[in-house]
Amino acid sequence: MWHRIMALVIKEFLALLRDRRERVVIIIPPLIQLVVFSYAATFDLSHVKLAIYDQDHGPEAQALVARFTGSPNFQLVAQVRDSREVAQLIDGEQALMVLDIPQDFSRKLLADREAEVQLILDGRNSNTALIALNYARGIVDDFNQDWLRDHAHAPMPLHLVTRAWFNANLESRWFIVPGIVGLLMMVVVMMVTSLSVAREREQGTFDQLLVTPLRPVEILIGKAMPGLLIGLFEATLIVIIAVFWFGVPLRGPLLTLYAGLLVFLLSASGVGLMISSLATTLQQALLGAFLFLVPGVILSGFATPIANMPTAVQYITLLDPLRYFMVVLRGVFLEGAGFALLWDQFWPMALIGIACLAGAGWLFRHRTA
């Protein structure tokens, strides 16, 4: 069985790499896109999930809290009762920002002393964190102006102390570049796999392949392997560039990163082979890949947080393997997350890949009949 699969894999590689232009198209564009997107991509923010940790409970603290909760830019999601809840809210992405008001806040203000409040931000999406920070600074500035107007001889009342987790300097590139790894891998692997069967059908060689001793499952493995190997090679190049050229920290274990990469490539290959098995011409395969890639990227959370999407659309994103791989990439790069913390992202990707590969295999058998 395996020698037949290896022969088919070699044939697929020869078909892909025999033309110099095809070799250039496979290798060069993803690297160019990595550089261009890393410098040019920008993001917008629609709302901020806010948690309040009010240890003071005085009227002055309540007045500050009311300014945050009354702002259309913030959505109150939790009232923190214990400092340990702060880490849980940020780590679980249940809150983007935690407003921490210390116990002596009101006492310092009434004593005409400067009081401090702390903002704890989720720095994984640095652009979002910066916009949220600017919203908070605007509210604090308004609070200071109103206080100085009512207390003419008081010093500046409120001092804002910020702390960003996972990305202390809020470097936007640290958020963008890991996402581009997943985006480019999906484009490369799906283009390679979605064209493989359609190309043979158009050339008239697929029927010849079906009458060989190769079984449908062997054809499936042989068609998927080139995409997996090319994806691994491309991903390694891009990760090296991300770490050593763009300076993005890789805090998690490489084993977890490559395990996630393999599962994602399996799911992307499955989707590509499903498209290829349905198409009869290269034009149909290209159109099918394009129709999946565009919404796949938009719904992945690469540019727009999934939490900001309508509820119905959030359910649709569950069918997008790139959605899960984005969490794995940013978790390994920025959080140092291991396999145990990311398991809930691995199994949906594996399920999508197995379902799509099984569907493609059924279509091979169906067409054989």
Q: Are 160 and 119 in contact (CB under 8 A)?
A: yes
Residue 348 vs residues 61, 281, 317, 322: alpha-carbon distances, Å: 44, 31, 11, 11
Same domain membership, residue 221 and residue 146: no
Q: Are 237 and 196 in contact (CB under 8 A)?
A: no
Dig out the tokens for 227 from the structure.
């995409």
Same domain membership, residue 282 and residue 339: yes
Highest mean pLDDT among 20-24, 183-187, 211-215: 183-187
pLDDT in tens, 277-319: 787 777 777 777 877 887 888 888 877 777 767 778 888 889 9
Dig out the tokens for 353 from the structure.
């890949």
Same domain membership, residue 89 and residue 14: no
Q: Is the pLDDT of residue 264 over 90?
A: yes
Average predicted confidence (pLDDT) for the chain = 78
CA dist 261 and 9 (Å) reads: 20
Highest mean pLDDT among 61-65, 108-112, 150-154, 208-212: 61-65
Q: How confident is the model at residue 161, as a pLDDT?
A: 65
Res. 7 pLDDT band, cuts 50 70 90:
confident
Same domain membership, residue 194 and residue 86: no
pTM attached to this predicted model: 0.64
φ/ψ (deg, to 5) at 18 = -70, -25
- Torsion sign, CA atoms 277, 282, 287, 289: positive
Q: Could you give the number of structural domains in the chain? A: 2
Q: Are 160 and 140 in contact (CB under 8 A)?
A: yes
Same domain membership, residue 199 and residue 295: yes
Q: Last residue of some domain: 113, 133, 165?
A: 165
Q: Is the pLDDT of residue 367 over 60?
A: no
Q: Give the single-character DSSP code of 318.
A: G
Which helix (H) or strand (E) segment holds residue 142: the answer is helix 126-150
CA angle 295, 299, 302 (to 5 degrees): 115
3-state secondary structure of 18: coil
Same domain membership, residue 179 and residue 32: yes
CATH code for the domain of 94:
3.40.1710.10
Nearest partner of 231 among 179, 199, 274, 183, judged by Cα: 183
Same domain membership, residue 53 and residue 36: no
Same domain membership, residue 253 and residue 308: yes
Q: Last residue of some domain: 149, 165, 181?
A: 165
Nearest partner of 89 among 208, 80, 46, judged by Cα: 80
DSSP bridge pairs for 98: 51, 120
φ/ψ (deg, to 5) at 245 = -95, -50
Name the percent of the chain lying above pLDDT 90.
6
Q: Is the pLDDT of residue 67 over 80?
A: yes
Q: How confident is the model at residue 95, as a pLDDT?
A: 85
Res. 347 pLDDT band, cuts 50 70 90:
very high
DSSP bridge pairs for 159: 116
| CB proximity list for 203: less than 8 A, separation 6 or greater | none
Same domain membership, residue 246 and residue 158: no
Same domain membership, residue 128 and residue 196: no
**Residue 208 belongs to domain spanning:** 2-40+172-368
Same domain membership, residue 262 and residue 148: no
Q: How confident is the model at residue 20, as a pLDDT?
A: 66
Same domain membership, residue 98 and residue 10: no
Q: Is the pLDDT of residue 11 over 70?
A: no
